[in-house]
Amino acid sequence: MSSSLDSPTLCRLPRVAIIGAGRVGSTLAQRIAEKNLADVVLLDIVGGMPQGLALDLLEARGIELHNRQIIGTNNYADTSGSQIVVITAGLPRKPGMSRDDLLRTNAKIVVEAAKQAIAYSPHAIFIVVTNPLDVMTYLAWQATGLPRNRIMGMAGVLDSARFETFIALELGVLPADVKAMVLGSHGDLMVPLSRYATVNGIPITELLDAATIERLVTRTRNGGAEIVELMQTGGAFFAPASATSVMVESILLNQSRLLPVAAYLQGEYGLKDVVIGVPCRLGLNGIESILELNLSDSEREALHFSAQSVRKNIQRSPEI
């Protein structure tokens, strides 16, 4: 059963604005340009940094064989007319920190970025990447006043990719043959759906024992923290940028791909007024529809518990 989220399709320029030129933002700019998806505007508050990154990316165009324009700027006016706005701005995690530890500082950054960006691109679709992601997406939705189909968070695509990676490594199979679905919040309470994970259509429950699957689920939940602990000076950026680019591609090319994204719910899965990861179809209008899976009692309970945690953090936010 799907709930429709219809809105008129608008004619928009092939331009993506990325707010935050850190590792995720700059890598995303590279992904979008080299896939030849859209022109890119890379914005940051640090003078010279986005301009330098944009010039560096421009100088690679002849090698990478694309002709996309890449602009670096400190001025939101340069993002005007963007079809998609991606917010990656905010402080990254440090070792020992949870995503929720970033709440107070990043809430102010994301709300300000959302307000500034929507003023210049009122018809844009927004994708939030900043952590804690579900709460930041909710705050951006409030700040922009957008209909829920035009604002979403990048989480489930990344978490699902991590689950798929760990399954492929465990079984020694081609990663492209592994498909998985992770719902819930982007944190320790995410809900990897093991019975929906398959290798060329074969459920992993037929290939792995329960203890091994639980170990892979735990590693998936701690996937971001594992990278932070290893790197010490920052967090993941290659995989988050790739996950975001998949969402951008599905929207710009109207692919209608079924992807797990953080969406604002109004009754789906028995949840209201909360942003949480669920399977959605992404196309030109953003979230074209939300798919309601038939969850088991334990899966549904886990999803609701995850949503309850997000609600508590929303209430803690200084921007509410």
Catalytic residues: 186
Q: Is 20 annotated as a binding residue?
A: yes
If we measure between CA atoms, which residue out of 82, 88, 87 comes closest to residue 40?
82
Type of residue numbered 98: S
Q: Is 198 annotated as a binding residue?
A: no
Q: Is 22 annotated as a binding residue?
A: yes
Q: Are 173 and 181 in contact (CB under 8 A)?
A: no
Q: Is 128 annotated as a binding residue?
A: no
Q: Is 131 annotated as a binding residue?
A: yes
Q: Is 74 annotated as a binding residue?
A: no
Q: Is 286 annotated as a binding residue?
A: no
Q: Is 21 annotated as a binding residue?
A: yes
Q: Is 89 annotated as a binding residue?
A: no
The 3 state secondary structure assigned to the chain is CEEECCCCCCCCCCEEEEECCCHHHHHHHHHHHHCCCCEEEEECCCCCHHHHHHHHHHCCHHHHCCCCCEEEECCHHHHCCCCEEEECCCCCCCCCCCHHHHHHHHHHHHHHHHHHHHHHCCCCEEEECCCCHHHHHHHHHHHHCCCHHHEEECCHHHHHHHHHHHHHHHHCCCHHHEECCEEECCCCCCEECHHHCEECCEEHHHCCCHHHHHHHHHHHHCHHHHHHHHHCCCCCCHHHHHHHHHHHHHHHCCCCEEEEEEEEEECHHHCEEEEEEEEEEEECCEEEEEECCCCCHHHHHHHHHHHHHHHHHHHHCCCC
Q: Is 23 annotated as a binding residue?
A: yes
Q: Is 300 annotated as a binding residue?
A: no
Q: Is 24 annotated as a binding residue?
A: yes
Q: Is 130 annotated as a binding residue?
A: yes
Q: Is 96 annotated as a binding residue?
A: no
Burial class (CB in 10 A: 0-12, 13-18, 19+), 80: middle
Residues making up the binding site: 20-25, 44, 93, 99, 106, 129-131, 162
Instruction: Summarize the annotated binding site for substrate as residue ranges.
Output: 93, 99, 131, 162
Binding-site residues for NAD(+), in ranges, read 20-25, 44, 106, 129-131
